[in-house]
Amino acid sequence: MYRETIHVVADVDYAPYSYLGDDGSPTGHDVELISEIANNMRVNLDLRLTTWNDAINAVKTGQADVVMGADVIADDSGAGMLMTIPLTSDTMTVFGKESIESVGELYGKKIAVIESNGAKALLKSYMLDPYCTAYATYTEVFESVKSGENDYAVSNYSVGLQILKTLQVNDIKSTGVVIMQNYFCFGVREDELELLDRINTELVSLSDGGEISRLQEKWVGSSTNVQSLPDFFREHAGLVWLYIAGVIALLTAFLTITIISAKKNEKMLRRQAETDPLTGLANRAFAEKLIGSILQSESEAAKRALLILDIDNFKRVNDTLGHQQGDSILKSIADVLRKSFREADVVGRLGGDEFFVLMQGVQGKTNVETKAKEICGAVVKVCSANGSECRVSTSIGIALSPEHGNNFTQLYAHADAALYHVKSNGRNGYMIYSDEYAAQNAVESRLLDMD
C-alpha cells in the first residue's frame, strides 16, 4: 500500500474499454492502462465503474480525481476537466437494422444515444437532436433499437460491436455513416494540474515503450471483430470516394493533433525538469542555473540580493501533524513567496524546508531588510491560515551582489553564513552577511540542526 490514492471512475458498460468481466471485477483497455499508470506512479488505485453520467458528475463534484473514456473532441461534457494527451481513437458511427448512406437520412428517425456523451451535441449540429433519446448505458441504447423503440443508435464503432456481440444481436449492423472520429483520453479534475502532468508523463513513457500499442492490439484490435477496410468498401461501394476524402481529412486532423500533443508534451517535460513538483516553484538546479546567468549578465542593475530561507522547527511540524499537513504548509509558504516578489525576481525551493530568492535591482540594504521583515511576518501567519495549531517561523540569511560576491557560489556561501548566525541567535529573523561575525562563524562548530 502506498501513501497516496487516486480515485478513478469509468463507464460500467463501455466494452472493450471499461466493463465488468465474468468474475464481476473491472476489466478492459482503460482499466489495464490506469492500473499500470498507478503502479508506475506508486499510488493506490480506487477504481469504480458506474454509468457514464454519474462518472462525469463524480469528477466535476470532486468525488473522483480521474474519469476514463473522455473524448478529446466530441465530448461536450468535458467542461470543468483537464484532458490528458490522446490515448487511442475510434469512429463514432450509426448502427441500425436498415442501411443508410448519409446523415441526412436520419431526419425523422428515432435515434438512441448515451447520456452526457458528445454524440447528441454533434447530432445537434445536424439539427437531429429533437429525434434523440438519451439512455444511461450503451446496452440500453442498443436494446432500444433491438426492440424497435428506436430506429438507429449512435456509438463508437468498437463499443457498438462489443455490445451487439454480448446481446447476441445479428440484425443490427454499422451503416457505415461516420459522425466523427473520436480521440479518447482521461479527464482529470480541473484543480489537479499536478496529477495531470504526472499521468501525461506516464502515458508518454508507456507509449515510448510500446505498451499503448500492445493494449490497443489486445483490447481493440483483437477482442472486437472489427470489419476490414476492403470488406467495408465492398459492402458500401457507393461511399468509397466519400470515405477516401474522409480518411484524408482525418489524417490531417490526426497529424495536427499529434503535432499539438508533441508540443504540449515537450512543454510539460520542460516544466517538470525546471519546477519543484510540490510547490510549483523553480527547483534548485534550474534556479541556480538561472541565477548564475543573471549574475554573469552585464545589466545596469547594480545591486542584487540572494536570500536563503529556512523554516524554523519544521521537523516538529512533520513529527506532530504528519507529512501531509507539513506539505500543505510548505505549499502555503511557497504561495507567500510567489506573491511577495516581482516577476523579475527568481523564487525557488532548495529542498526540504529551505527556499531561496534572488532579488534584482534592489535600492539598498533597507529595501532588502524591509522585504525580509515582511516575509518573516507572513510566514508566522501561515499555520493559522491553514487551520493548524502549530507555529512556524522563518530565518533568513542575505548576501548582496556585488559586495559579497559576483557568482552564485560566493553569494550562497555568504547568505548561508548569515542564516547560521540568525539560527544561532534565536531564529525568526533575518541578517545581511557581515565580516564582523564571519570570523566567529568560521571557528564555531555548527551545532544547530537545520530543521
Question: DSSP secondary structure string, 188-225?
Answer: EETT-HHHHHHHHHHHHHHHHTTHHHHHIIIIIIISS-
Confidence class for position 258, pLDDT limits 50, 70, 90: low
Mean pLDDT of 310-323: 84
Contact 176, 236 (CB under 8 A): yes
The alpha carbon of 242 is separated from its chain's Cα centroid by a whole number of angstroms, namely 38
pLDDT, tens only, 165-224 = 999 999 999 998 888 777 788 999 988 889 998 998 999 889 888 898 899 888 887 433
pLDDT, tens only, 349-366 = 988 899 999 998 888 889
Residue position matching grid coordinates 508540443: 263
Task: Choose among 250, 28, 6: nearest CA to 138.
Answer: 28
pLDDT, tens only, 136-171 = 999 999 999 999 999 999 998 999 999 999 999 999
Task: Choose among 309, 274, 288: nearest CA to 409.
Answer: 288
Please report the pLDDT score of residue 298 as a whole number.
Answer: 55
Please report the pLDDT score of residue 419 as a whole number.
Answer: 92
pLDDT, tens only, 164-180 = 999 999 999 999 888 87
Please tell me whether the peptide bond between 402 and the residue prior to it is cis, using omega within 30 degrees of 0.
Answer: yes
What is the rounded CA–CA span in Å between residue 115 and residue 53?
A: 6
Measure CA of the first residue to CA of the last residue in the chain; give whole Å: 29
Task: Choose among 371, 360, 366: nearest CA to 396.
Answer: 371
Confidence class for position 267, pLDDT limits 50, 70, 90: low
Please report the pLDDT score of residue 88 as a whole number.
Answer: 79
∠ CA 104-108-112, nearest 5°, is 90
| Residue 385 pLDDT > 80 | no
pLDDT, tens only, 79-116 = 678 888 887 778 889 999 999 988 889 999 999 999 87
Please report the pLDDT score of residue 239 as a whole number.
Answer: 47
SS3 percent helix, strand, coil of the chain, rounded to 5, is: 50, 25, 30
| Residue 265 pLDDT > 80 | no
CB atoms < 10 A from the CB of 357, how many? 24
Paired residues of 184 in beta bridges: 71, 88
When the pLDDT of each residue in the chain is averaged and rounded to a whole number, the result is 83
CB atoms < 10 A from the CB of 235, how many? 13
CB atoms < 10 A from the CB of 67, how many? 27
Please report the pLDDT score of residue 72 as a whole number.
Answer: 60
What is the rounded CA–CA span in Å between residue 55 and residue 12?
A: 9
Please report the pLDDT score of residue 433 as a whole number.
Answer: 92
Contact 213, 80 (CB under 8 A): no
Pairing mode of beta strands 354-360, 346-351: antiparallel
Looking at 285-392, which runs of residues are DSSP E strands? Answer: 304-312, 346-351, 354-360
Classify burial at 117, counting beta carbons within 10 Å of its beta carbon; exposed 0-12, middle 13-18, buried 19 or more.
buried
The residues assigned a catalytic role are 353
pTM tops 0.85, yes or no: no
Confidence class for position 235, pLDDT limits 50, 70, 90: very low
What is the rounded CA–CA span in Å between residue 387 and residue 410?
A: 39
Mean pLDDT of 311-340: 87
